[in-house]
């Protein structure tokens, strides 16, 4: 089947992807410093930078939700269990035997079943848990006219645990994601696609044209 470069990732999609990656990296870096894992900015500055990045992340989330709903791109993340076993077998065994990919990427279906399930879990569970627990941690005590008030929470211990667990899950996802982006047609093809928006995909429509018109020779890739 012939292949050609197809514009698959829109400008905002790429902007959102890279901004989200940068903010998650920065939040993780400052967050683990706040935990005392190491010292780079210093505790006071790490807290301030972490809080600023949090507001930027929330702003990005709100704008991205609006974009997904208005463009219909949210449908890309609706999970399905169809072919999920084949996808797992591919990642565990097939990829090391140069087996063909069990699913085909298209403009209308950019994610395989395992990716859909993973990203859906991130969007409705991990990221909301991280943001909510972080905000509760930030505003556990807040100024009011009567002085310093506190949210009706017995202890910050569980909030801190939830926030840390969510952060660790995000780090695990990023590390796994960094590996999986190297599993495309070439080591850098997936990375290049998220930079340029274009990816080399199978072009069934072109093949149909070629069959119906033997004189048709326009073809970008073989």
Q: Do strands 147-150 and 198-202 pair parallel, antiparallel, or not at all (unpaired)? A: unpaired
Tell me how far apart the alpha carbons of residues 28 and 171 are, in angstroms, rounded to a whole number: 8
Strand partners, 199: 6
Confidence tier at 215 by pLDDT (50, 70, 90): very low
Model confidence, pTM:
0.79
Tens-digit pLDDT profile for residues 130-182: 999 888 888 776 444 554 455 556 667 888 888 999 999 998 998 888 888 88
The DSSP secondary-structure symbol of 101 reads P
Q: CATH homologous superfamily for 3-212?
A: Transmembrane di-heme cytochromes, Chain C (1.20.950.20)
Tens-digit pLDDT profile for residues 36-55: 889 999 999 999 999 999 99
Tokens in use for 173? 């996802």
Domain residue limits, the chain: 3-212
Tens-digit pLDDT profile for residues 71-111: 999 999 988 888 888 888 888 888 888 788 888 888 888 88
């Amino acid at each position: 089947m012939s292949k050609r470069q197809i514009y698959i990732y829109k400008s905002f999609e790429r902007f959102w992807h890279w901004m989200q990656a940068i903010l998650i990296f920065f939040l993780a870096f400052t967050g683990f410093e706040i935990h005392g894992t190491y010292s780079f900015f210093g505790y006071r500055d790490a807290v301030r930078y972490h809080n600023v990045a949090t507001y930027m992340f929330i702003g990005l989330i709100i704008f991205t939700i609006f974009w997904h709903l208005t463009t219909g791109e949210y449908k890309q993340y609706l999970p399905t269990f169809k072919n999920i076993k084949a996808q797992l077998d591919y990642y565990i065994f097939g990829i090391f035997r140069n087996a063909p990919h069990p699913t085909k990427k298209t403009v209308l279906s950019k994610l395989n079943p395992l990716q859909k399930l993973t990203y859906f879990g991130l969007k409705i569970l991990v990221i909301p848990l991280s943001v909510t627990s972080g905000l509760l941690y930030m505003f556990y005590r807040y100024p009011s006219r009567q002085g310093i008030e506190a949210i009706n929470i017995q202890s910050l211990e569980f909030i801190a645990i939830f926030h840390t667990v969510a952060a660790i899950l995000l780090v695990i996802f990023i590390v796994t994601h960094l590996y999986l982006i190297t599993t495309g047609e070439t080591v850098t093809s997936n990375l290049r696609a998220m930079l340029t928006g274009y990816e080399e995909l199978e072009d069934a429509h072109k093949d149909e044209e070629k069959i119906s018109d033997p004189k048709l020779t326009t073809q970008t890739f073989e």
